[in-house]
Chains A and B, each alone.
Chain A
Amino acid sequence: MLRTLREEHGRSISHCLPLFLLVLSLCFFFLSGVALAQGNYEIQVYGVDTVPPKNLMVELHSNYTVSGQTKTIDGVFPTNHQEHETLELTEGINDWAEVGFYVFTSWQDGHGVQWVGDHIRPRVRAPEKWHLPVGLSLSTEIGYQRAVYSSDTWTWEIRPIIDKTLGRWYLAFNPALERTLHGPDVHQGLGFSPAAKVSYDFTRKISGGIEYYADYGRIGDFAPLRAQQQQIFVVTDLNVSPKWEINLGVGLGPTAATDHLIVKGILGRRFDWGRKSPVD
């Protein structure tokens, strides 16, 4: 399924522990031997914040698989050296809801530029005024992708989102559940696809951290490790302006079912189409 792991703009936690946590997380990842592979169209850990009303967030997700699957399996094109460009449009509904829409495309030598599919993603959040100790949000996403890019053509996902800012540190966890609506895995039931992010604000403009993405397989009957998708990205967020979102990362996937090396980038621009006048 097309994974939609989203990290929002910067957040934060304290000083001096960033490297330690980074190393700890990397150790956990490699020692656990977990592995992952993913759709690689929108690689983002979701934060709780929603786009404000009368705002449109336009994001371009650019992901290139440096080292991935080299064979055609079940009619699905190999991912190796695929360039994915995903346009994401997110409109704020009110101060606790938004709707996102995706257009997935792929470029690959021999296949040219291809439309892959579209998804729609409504999302709600617990309003700030509830003063919860952590941020809470719930996203759901449904959509289609062509069979040559994913054997499961219709998929649905529900994604709880929990995040927390502690000083300069930012933590986010997305324990997502996925279901295939049409395709070979239609009888598989609910799959578990968690994602997480830990980042640290080095300065007002530069944050760095790690993002973790996984697909463990069906709940109650996880796939063997080699068949799981496991991926970890070292990322940086450049907070150059409230209107812009820039995220860059390099991801490693050590299991057989995971693309081994991916480079990703997200460029986002917020457009405020409300409040044209100072008196609005």
Chain B
Amino acid sequence: MALSSALLPRVGWAAAASDVTLEIAPYLLEASPRHHFRTVAYNGQVPGPLLRMRPGQEQSIEIHNHSGDPEIVHWHGLYLPPSIDGSMEEGTPMIAPGGSVRYSFKPDPPGFRWFHTHTFAGKDLTKAQFGGLHGFVMIEARDNPGRYDREVFLALHDWGGHFEGNDDGFMNPVYDVSTINGKMLGFGDPLRVKQGERVLMHVLNSSPTEVHWIALAGHGFRVIALDGNEVQQPQTIAMLRLAPAERVSAIVEMKSPGVWILGEVRKHVQAAGMGIVIEYAGATGKPVWTQPEDLVWNYQQFAGRGTAPSGTAPGDDPAIPIVLAFDSKFQGHGNEELWRINGKSYPHTDEPVLTAGRRYRLIMKNLSMDDHPMHLHRHTFEVRQVDGSPEMHGLWKDVVLVRAKSTAEVEFLANHPGRTLFHCHQQDHMDRGFMMVFRYA
């Protein structure tokens, strides 16, 4: 948990260098020699820099906005005060064009987190999360959840978005190019590995709107953490599914020498570039891809088995239910939908009041025809039911995909006072009102 934070005055900055400096500036991304995107990036790279931090060890952060738009940096998955969490809905100040800000915090909780812009894109599908403003944060755990030889960070992203209306009036962005770490398949450096190596892959879906499915031909993933939180039942599986903003940490044992493709399972997305070559030392030849025939994933396999351990079960301290119904308001065929929580769109959504120290159960009823990756700021929640599953425990996340026409239930302890944003992490849904704020009594 962040023990202290401070917004520092501009004067006196030069006196001490910050631990982390983020320069927000225009950037030309070369996804391939034939695919360039004018975007905005952190420190002249996409994804932004990997920030490694120690839990509880104070970090000073300095951010300079050299772009032409107001910016804000959200520290996704961290327990930070609303003043620096990075959401203007919570009260974090925007950084004006040409402006700078400096603050400090003690990072918590340990695990794979990330940082990204939290601005509005509207119909400009180059702005906000549609662009290149995202990067990794690794808050080093004292005890690693799995034995590994090296770590690799991979960000899945989609570029060149444009709206295509369908006949039912919804507007869903589609993309020209999809990348891993900013490069299309075959155009970035291969990931070079050695036989027998155990590679811990930290995979982030930073896509503004798309769920992605990832497989590595000839290999399986030993999933040890979701959204940076250790899972109770690590599983070795053939593919990963990541909704926007979700993260998966998985160990891959390199025991099949060759040249392989790690890429999107869906053919049209991999054809758009989402893939990276995995090359064993000494191996040559054309990268090999083995096409799966189905999309397979469920959250339940990672949850704890049996009854919930004492202290986390709602039976000890019954969680207070908060029912949230998601739907959309029709505004004309071919026109944008307005997204609603309990019949209201942000900024007109309700502001439920939380009492510090109490557990709450969010009962999310998705009445719409779309899946929604729901994110709660500044807290970690426990997924209790999803996709019609029986009651689960021990699956801790900060984003959960609530499937269309289904109900998902999560519980969290209200232990980080302050305004707390809750929203669909699909950028176009956020922009059209799919947000609400919890506040503490």
A49-103 CB contacts (< 8 Å) to partner B:
49, 95
Contacting pair A167 B295 (CB below 8 A): no
B292: which of A12, A13, A169, A279 is its contact (CB, 8 Å)? A279
Instruction: Say what secondary structure dominates the interface of chain A.
Output: loop
In the complex, B294 has a CB within 8 A of chain A: yes
Given A279-B292, A279-B294, the answer on whether A12 and B160 have CB atoms closer than 8 Å is no
B-chain residues with CB within 8 Å of residue A204 when the two chains form the complex: 168-169, 330, 333
Residues of A within 8 Å of B268, CB to CB, are 280
A127 and chain B: residue at smallest CB distance: B162
The answer to whether A168 touches B331, judged by C-beta atoms less than 8 angstroms apart, is yes
Q: Say yes or no: A165 contacts B176, CB within 8 Å.
A: no
* 119-169 of chain A: CB within 8 A of chain B: 127-129, 131, 165, 167-169
- Interface residues of B, count at CB 8 A: 27
Question: How many Å lie between the Cα of A167 and that of B295 in the bound state?
Answer: 37
Q: In the complex, A239 Cα to B165 Cα: how many Å?
A: 14
Whether the Cβ atoms of A201 and B167 lie closer than 8 Å is no
The B-contacting residues of A in range 228-280, CB under 8 angstroms, are 239, 241-242, 245, 270, 277-280
How many chain A residues touch the partner (CB < 8 A)?
Answer: 29
Q: Contact check, A279 vs B291: say whether CB atoms are below 8 A apart.
A: yes
Interface code B260-278, partner A: CB below 8 Å = 1, 0 otherwise? 0000011110000000000
**Is the CB–CB distance between B332 and A201 below 8 Å?**
yes
Query: Which parts of A1-42 form the interface with B (CB within 8 Å)?
Result: 9-13
* Any B CB within 8 A of the CB of A170: yes
Tell me if B438 is interfacial: C-beta within 8 Å of chain A.
no
Check B166 for interface membership: any CB of A closer than 8 A.
Answer: yes
Within the complex, what minimum Cβ distance (angstroms) separates B196 from chain A?
A: 31
- Is A129 a contact of B332 with CB atoms below 8 Å? no
With known contacts A129-B176, A204-B169, A239-B167, A278–B294 Cβ distance under 8 A: yes
Contact B333 A277 (CB under 8 A): no
Map CB proximity to A onto B334-346 as digits: 1 under 8 Å, 0 otherwise: 1100000000000
Which residues of B285-337 are within 8 A (CB) of A? 291-295, 330-335
The CA of A165 and the CA of B168, in the complex, are separated in Å by 14
CA distance A241 to B333 in the complex (A): 12
User: A11 with B333: in contact, given A204-B169, A242-B167, A279-B291 (CB under 8 Å)?
Assistant: yes
Q: A129-B176, A280-B266, A280-B268 are in contact. Are A167 and B335 (CB under 8 A)?
A: yes
Is A207 on the interface with B (CB-CB < 8 A)? yes
Indicate if B19 sits at the interface (CB-CB under 8 A).
no
> A241 to B163, alpha carbons, bound, how many Å?
20
Q: Using Cβ atoms and an 8 Å threshold, which residues of chain B touch A201?
A: 169, 330, 332-333
| Residues of chain A contacted by B351 (CB below 8 angstroms) | none
In the bound complex, residues from chain B placing their C-beta under 8 Å from that of A168 are: 331-332, 335
Given known A-B contacts A13-B332, A204-B330, A279 and B168 have beta carbons under 8 A apart: no
Given contacts A277-B293, A279-B267, A279-B294, contact A207 B164 (CB under 8 A): no
Residue of B with least CB distance to A245: B167
Contact status A165-B332, CB under 8 Å? yes
Minimum CB distance partner of B294 in chain A = A278
Bound-state CA distance A245–B145 (Å) is 55
**Shortest beta-carbon distance from A247 to chain B in Å:** 13
CB <8 Å contact, B163 and A279: no
In the assembled complex, how far is the CB of residue B170 from the closest CB belonging to chain A, in whole angstroms? 9
CB neighbours (8 Å) of A245 from chain B are 167
Q: Is the CB of A242 within 8 A of B166?
A: yes
When each residue 88-129 of chain B gets 1 if its CB lies under 8 Å from chain A and 0 otherwise, what string results? 000000000000000000000000000000000001000000
Which residues of the partner chain B approach A277 to less than 8 Å between Cβ atoms?
Answer: 293-294
- Whether the Cβ atoms of A207 and B333 lie closer than 8 Å is yes
Starting from the known contacts A242-B167, A242-B168, 12 additional A-B residue pairs (CB-CB under 8 Å) come to A12-B335, A95-B164, A127-B162, A165-B334, A165-B335, A168-B331, A170-B332, A203-B330, A204-B168, A239-B167, A279-B294, A280-B268
Question: 28 A-B pairs, CB-CB below 8 angstroms?
Answer: A9-B167, A9-B333, A10-B167, A10-B169, A10-B334, A11-B332, A11-B333, A11-B334, A12-B169, A12-B331, A95-B164, A128-B163, A129-B160, A165-B335, A167-B335, A201-B330, A201-B332, A203-B330, A204-B169, A204-B333, A239-B167, A239-B168, A242-B167, A242-B168, A270-B167, A279-B267, A279-B291, A279-B294
Partner-B contacts on A (CB < 8 A): 9-13, 49, 95, 127-129, 131, 165, 167-170, 201, 203-204, 207, 239, 241-242, 245, 270, 277-280
